[in-house]
């Protein structure tokens, strides 16, 4: 059987060198290695932990190393990050094991000169008290960046856009694993029956005040192995996405467009609102993503979804619709806790995204019938991708207007916004970071 640390090393190296997605690379590695139980859990904790703390870990390396970080060989750097994470952030790993196994890993990678370097660095950290010191708070952006392992550009953006209190709360929310929400498939069951079935399998279920057919679950194990999942009684969907569809409020017999639909969660929820009646066109640019939607709809027993290969930015014609969901590609800053590799992306704040999003929004709006409703949404926390795009759209499209939102129980605004929009934040909605605006075509 494979060595768990060696498996974690390979995953982290693949993410570092190839830009692989953490969840996909990790799942493949665990499956191929044959690890299970405690070993697979250890690999997952180590991989996600190193990714989540990478900025902090590199800061610590720089405090101890005479060699500049940029000149440390990439495999050595990954091994150092793993070793430091085990020493400082994994309470159940003995210090001796963290050091010795890191040295063995370096030797196994034929990094014989680096093995001594790794040994000296890690032993130095074990002897230090405290093992490292944070930057002074006089530079709050740098301090928060190192403390919470978030790029300085993002800390600065959030402080300027949302204020220091909201920024602090959001940064705090990034620690640990995020909440797991599911959406009851109302075409096949109800919440009470699903809850009872899940609890029989040992799943802990928590009621969610903000959404009628949502449950917050834990102790699930592999979700795909649950009987209720195999029977198509629910799909996994964050509360923010469930609220987004509720703002659109699709109805039976309507025509709805989901412009950037993959992997299909919002379309599935919308189809349930529609009671599987009417037509729901789920669009995406790639065949393999459309197949994901088709497979998901089949598992849930949904038959009113029609997949459609389409480039949302190209303005290809679609049927006139009563409802449109325009959930555009975004920087993903609201899901850092779920996708930790986003923290170390070089183009984290892309200047090109808002223009692409605006183009998709404008082309989508052309397909909305008079009297129809469009929801524009992202899973990011960046005003340039969110409210700025909507305000520009309303200025340039006078035949549209914003529709005031009624916020559900337990959801509050973190700052002053227009009545037609909401920026969901972990500390104000217990959800991922998310933005939604509701627009109505008046002529």
Give the residue numbers annotated as catalytic, written as ranges: 379
Sign of the Cα pseudo-torsion (32, 38, 42, 45, in order): positive
Helix, strand, coil % in the chain, rounded to nearest 5: 50, 15, 35
Written as six digits, the tokens of 403 are 């529709």
3-state secondary structure 80-133: HHHHHHHHHHCCCCCHHHHHHHHHHHHHHCCCHHHHHHHHHHHHHHHHCCCCCC
**Between helices 140-148 and 152-173, what is the axis angle to 10°?**
60
Q: Which helix (H) or strand (E) holds 309?
A: strand 305-309
Instruction: Give CA separation, 391 vs 116, 259, 295, 357, 387, in Å.
Output: 58, 20, 37, 13, 6
Question: Exposed, middle or buried: residue 115 (CB in 10 Å: 0-12, 13-18, 19+)?
Answer: buried
CA–CA distance, 335 with 342 (Å, rounded to integer): 9
Q: Which pair of tokens denotes residue 161?
A: 């856009």
Give the helix/strand (H/E) hosting 78: helix 74-89
Please list, in sequence order, all residues whose beta carbon lies within 8 angstroms of the beta carbon of residue 31, skipping any fewer than 6 positions away.
none
The three state secondary structure string of 160-184 is HHHHHHHHHHHHHHCCCCCCEEEEE
């Amino acid at each position: 059987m494979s060595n768990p640390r060696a498996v974690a090393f390979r995953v982290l190296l693949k993410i570092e060198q190839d830009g692989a997605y953490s969840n996909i690379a990790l799942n493949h590695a665990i499956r191929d290695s044959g690890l299970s139980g405690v070993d697979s859990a250890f690999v997952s904790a180590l991989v996600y932990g190193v990714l989540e703390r990478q900025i902090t870990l590199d800061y610590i390396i720089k405090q101890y190393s005479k060699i500049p970080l940029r000149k440390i060989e990439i495999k050595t750097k990954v091994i150092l990050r793993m070793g430091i994470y085990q020493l400082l952030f994994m309470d159940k790993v003995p210090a001796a094991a963290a050091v010795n196994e890191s040295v063995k890993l370096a030797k196994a990678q034929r990094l014989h000169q680096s093995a001594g370097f790794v040994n000296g660095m890690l032993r130095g950290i074990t002897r230090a008290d405290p093992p490292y010191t944070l930057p002074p708070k006089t530079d709050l952006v740098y301090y928060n960046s190192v403390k919470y392992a978030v790029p300085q550009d993002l800390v600065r953006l959030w402080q300027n856009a949302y204020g220091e209190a909201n920024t602090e709360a959001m940064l705090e929310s990034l620690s640990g694993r995020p909440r797991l929400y599911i959406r009851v498939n109302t075409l096949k069951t109800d919440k009470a029956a699903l809850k009872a079935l899940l609890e029989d399998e040992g799943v802990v279920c928590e009621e969610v005040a903000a959404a009628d057919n949502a449950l917050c679950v834990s102790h699930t194990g592999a979700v795909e192995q649950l009987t209720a999942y195999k029977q198509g009684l629910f799909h996994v969907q964050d509360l923010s996405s469930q609220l987004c569809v509720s703002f659109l409020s699709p109805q039976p017999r309507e025509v709805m467009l989901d412009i950037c639909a993959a992997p299909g969660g919002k379309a599935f929820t919308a189809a349930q609102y529609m009671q599987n009646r009417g037509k729901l066109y789920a669009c995406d640019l790639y065949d393999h993503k459309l197949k994901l939607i088709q497979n998901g709809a089949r598992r849930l027993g949904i038959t009113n979804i029609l997949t459609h290969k389409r480039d949302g930015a190209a303005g290809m014609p679609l049927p006139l619709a009563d409802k449109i969901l325009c959930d555009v590609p975004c920087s993903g800053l609201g899901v850092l806790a779920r996708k930790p590799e986003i923290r170390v992306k070089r183009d984290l704040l892309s200047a090109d995204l808002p223009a692409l999003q605006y183009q998709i929004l404008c082309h989508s709006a052309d397909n909305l019938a008079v009297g129809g409703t469009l929801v524009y949404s992202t899973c990011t926390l960046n005003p340039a991708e969110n409210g700025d795009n909507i305000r520009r759209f309303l200025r340039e499209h006078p035949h549209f207007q914003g529709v005031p939102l009624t916020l559900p129980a337990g959801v509050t605004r973190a700052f002053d916004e227009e009545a037609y929009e909401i920026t969901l934040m972990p500390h104000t909605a217990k959800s991922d970071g998310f933005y939604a605006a509701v627009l109505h075509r008046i002529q």
